[in-house]
Amino acid sequence: MVQLMNRRRILVKPTLACDEFRFDTKKHATVLLTQYDAIWYLVKWLAIVSSSTAIVAVMMILLVILEGYRKQSQGFMTTLYAICLVGLFCSVVMVWKARYLITTTYNLPHAHFGAAVSQECIVDSAWRGMLTSWYTHTSFGNLA
């Protein structure tokens, strides 16, 4: 770290790829964190919808097993079946939306920081470790 004009500066290698990392005019960090939050919001709701649908399905199966199929009205069973189908459809749409966000708007800014990590743009090892940690903790791995 260097003191320059009464401000602390993190030294960055003077290469073309590292200059793009240093002078980030496309706001990659902001886009990355915004998309990361949006994807996790979808995953949270996916867990809620999927678990609720699973609970309704298990209750429907237990009801049929414990009381018998003949004792249940057709309208009641159709309603439970429709709730399960709607929950399944919503879950599939949320998975598709999360994968779409990861493959379109999330991968570009994440790759930008991946290039900065692989080229070791930050000279100071402590700050480089922080960038590496941030890059690995914002990765969705091979989810997409």
The mean-pLDDT minimum among 20-24, 41-45, 103-107 falls in 20-24
Residue 118 scores a pLDDT above 90 = no
Encode burial over 84-96: b for 16+ CB neighbours within 10 A, e otherwise.
eeebeebbeebee
Q: What per-residue confidence (pLDDT) applies to 142?
A: 64
Name the region of 6 (left: φ>0; alpha: ψ -120 to 50; beta: rest).
left
Q: How confident is the model at residue 97 (pLDDT cuts 50, 70, 90)?
A: very high
Q: What per-residue confidence (pLDDT) applies to 130?
A: 79
**pTM (2 decimals)?**
0.71
- Taking each helix axis from N to C end, the angle separating 107-118 and 28-67, rounded to the nearest 10 degrees, works out to 120
Q: What per-residue confidence (pLDDT) applies to 27?
A: 78
Tell me the two tokens of residue 64. 């049929």
